[in-house]
Structure 1
Amino acid sequence: MLPLYKILFFSTLISSTMISISSQSWLGMWMGLEINLMSFIPMMSYHKNMMSTESSIKYFIIQALASTLILMSIILMTNMFLISYDFSSMIFNSALFTKMGAAPFHFWFPEMIEGLSWMNSLILMTWQKIAPLVIFSYNINNLISMFVVIFCMMISGFMGINQISLRKIMAYSSINHLGWMISSMMFNQMIWMIYFLIYSIMSINIIFILNKFNLFYLKQLFYHMKNNKTIKLFFIMNFLSLGGLPPFIGFFPKWITIQTLISNQALMLTFIMMILTLITLFFYVRITFSSILLSSSEIK
């Protein structure tokens, strides 16, 4: 049973995102993001995890910094005689990328998620990305987006490949999917929403089971897979789906994103994204193959 204060803060978390995405002014959006930040921090406290306090402080500092940049860029954008609109818009977008944990502004994200419970991690990887993504879609810049997308793909692939912590694997996976969402947002507003919905469903599937069995590291996962064939099948299907392997549902949003990018002549970007996503898919396949081929006693 959730404590009463967490239910209260969860409701303000939901409403603050709604304020942000339905606001007609930049200041209203900023206010929604601030309420969102102050609602999530109390939810992060967890008496069984000593790192949750550290994570909440990290989260507060990073988000407060990003909020300051957003407010500053709003002031600059509304007073164009101070500085060029493009520059202030770039600051604004960079702050939003920091808020959502997109590369190269991602450094806080995997480290912070390591100190959270699975349920908080799920909120951070799904719900907390809605407001920054929607606000970014109002002020999209294709050139910045392309760089961010490529960075997301590279960092999630190369940094996730040697992780043993399931939370960090999920965090780098989130960064990878964020890259796909931003790329689809450049050309079609509807596709990123479909992508986000499917990604959220896949994340909920995986995280609920990881939370149920209290699994945080690959070794624990392999042990549970060895003892329970149903869980093994479930994880194999979900991990491959998260990696975007056909015929699983995770392939569908990637497919429509690729189709959109190709139809808009973004061939080079599509090629780079596909190649770099293969690295991410590799470590999902490695996890699933290890669980099939090896017993837990062989995995040290």
Structure 2
Amino acid sequence: MTKFYKILFGHTLILGTLMSISSYSWFSMWMGLEINLLSMIPLLKDSKNLYPSESALKYFIVQALASAILLFSIILILNSKEYMIVSPPMAMLLNSALLTKLGAAPFHAWFPEVMEGIDWINCLILLTWQKIAPMILLTYNLNMSMFLSYIIIISSLTGSILGLNQISLRKIMAYSSINHIGWMLASMLSSLSVWTIYFLTYSIITFNIVYILHQMNLFTLKQFFNTLNSNKIFKFFFILNFMSLGGLPPFLGFFPKWLTINLLTYNNFMVLSFILILSTLLTLYFYLRITFSSLVINSNEALIFSQKKTSWMMMFLNLVVIMGLMFCTMIMSLF
């Protein structure tokens, strides 16, 4: 049974994000982000989490610091002589605060640590919903392509390299998310509609993976190898979703990366495109290492196993991930 405070703070979490992205002034956007932050803290302070107080405190300190920097930069912009023109140092300060809230590298150190101490439902909120408001606010101040290019390169390389030696599934998802933040910022440089497609695709795939891990109550690779042998459908869907998250061509995850690379090369961001593709190969390496290990090395047949029923919603979403690229290419070919 869902507790009342979770419903209450879940609604205010959504309200804070919607307030931020629909505001006309920076102060209203800041207020929306604060409502969002204060709604997230009680959700993190849950007895089901591994380290509830530690994760909530880390999240609060980092987000409060980012909010203070954001408010300071807004006051500087409002007190400047040229009110309509934001100077580069102020824009960099503002963007840095938003990137800290987002968890992009090099402001990422809090993100895997907070993820490690919470349950999968809160992980899903951090991986998807909490990225919406800071990213949309970043689109209002995208005149610093060089600064954002450095952030994209650092995020993509950090997420791919630091994810190589992880055994915790939550940290693997966190570093994968940092890598995808680099891709999302790159798609934002090209087109807001491409960012929307990328974010929706990433959210669907992440929801599928987190749903399976939540249902099977898995947190480490050893648990994953031992448990998923008893449920072949979950194992099959999990492997396909991981490959889709890495951006392999037969799956839906390839489609937004395809659009992003296409627009980046069209706008002459050649070096950026090359580094993004290189970082994706590294992430694919540790995705495929997990899938091959579960298929070949650690695969065994249990004599007695309980088959969990697979919901229709999960079957439908996984069908979207598997067949989505074919439908997208068919739709694109019509226009």
TM class by shorter chain equals over 0.9
Which residues of structure 1 form unaligned runs of 5+?
none
Which residues of structure 2 form unaligned runs of 5+?
301-335
Check conservation: 1:110, 1:171, Cα contact below 8 A. yes
- The alpha carbon displacement at 1:81 in A equals 4.6
Tell me what 2:16 maps to.
16
4+ runs of 1 displaced by more than 4 Å? 81-84
- The alpha carbon displacement at 1:85 in A equals 1.6
1:223-257 per-position Cα deviation (integer Å, ceiling 9, x unaligned): 12222221221111000001111111111110000
The alignment partner of 1:160 has SS state of coil
The alignment partner of 1:186 has SS state of helix
User: Is 1:169–2:172 an aligned residue pair?
Assistant: yes
Tell me what 1:133 maps to.
135
Specify the code of the residue in structure 1 equivalent to 2:246.
G
Check conservation: 2:188, 2:195, Cα contact below 8 A. yes
Question: What are the within-5 Å matches in structure 2 for residues 284-295 of structure 1?
Answer: 284-295=287-298
Tell me what 2:126 maps to.
124
Cα distance in 1, alignment partners of residues 148 and 114 from structure 2 = 24
* Equivalent residue pairs, number: 297
Tell me what 2:211 maps to.
208
Cα distance in 2, alignment partners of residues 25 and 58 from structure 1 = 29
Tell me what 2:221 maps to.
218
Cα distance in 1, alignment partners of residues 110 and 298 from structure 2 = 34
Check conservation: 1:219, 1:296, Cα contact below 8 A. no
Percentage of matched positions with identical amino acids: 56
Cα distance in 2, alignment partners of residues 182 and 123 from structure 1 = 19
- The alpha carbon displacement at 1:167 in A equals 0.3
Specify the code of the residue in structure 2 equivalent to 1:226.
N
Specify the code of the residue in structure 1 equivalent to 2:66.
A
The alignment partner of 2:162 has SS state of helix
Aligned counterpart in structure 2 of residue 180 of structure 1, from 174, 183, 203:
183
- The alpha carbon displacement at 1:49 in A equals 3.0
- The alpha carbon displacement at 1:296 in A equals 6.1
- The alpha carbon displacement at 1:74 in A equals 0.5
Question: What are the within-5 Å matches in structure 2 for residues 106-117 of structure 1?
Answer: 106-117=108-119
Cα distance in 2, alignment partners of residues 158 and 131 from structure 1 = 27
Tell me what 1:233 maps to.
236
When normalised by structure 2's length, the TM-score is 0.86
User: Is 1:67–2:67 an aligned residue pair?
Assistant: yes
Work out which of the two has the higher radius of gyration on C-alpha atoms and give 1 or 2.
2
1:163-210 per-position Cα deviation (integer Å, ceiling 9, x unaligned): 000000000111111110000101211101110000000010010110
- The alpha carbon displacement at 1:277 in A equals 1.4
- The alpha carbon displacement at 1:131 in A equals 0.2
User: Is 1:280–2:261 an aligned residue pair?
Assistant: no
Tell me what 1:102 maps to.
104
Cα distance in 2, alignment partners of residues 67 and 103 from structure 1 = 17
Tell me what 1:270 maps to.
273
Cα distance in 1, alignment partners of residues 259 and 50 from structure 2 = 42
When normalised by structure 1's length, the TM-score is 0.96
- The alpha carbon displacement at 1:84 in A equals 7.3
RMSD over aligned CA atoms reads 1.4
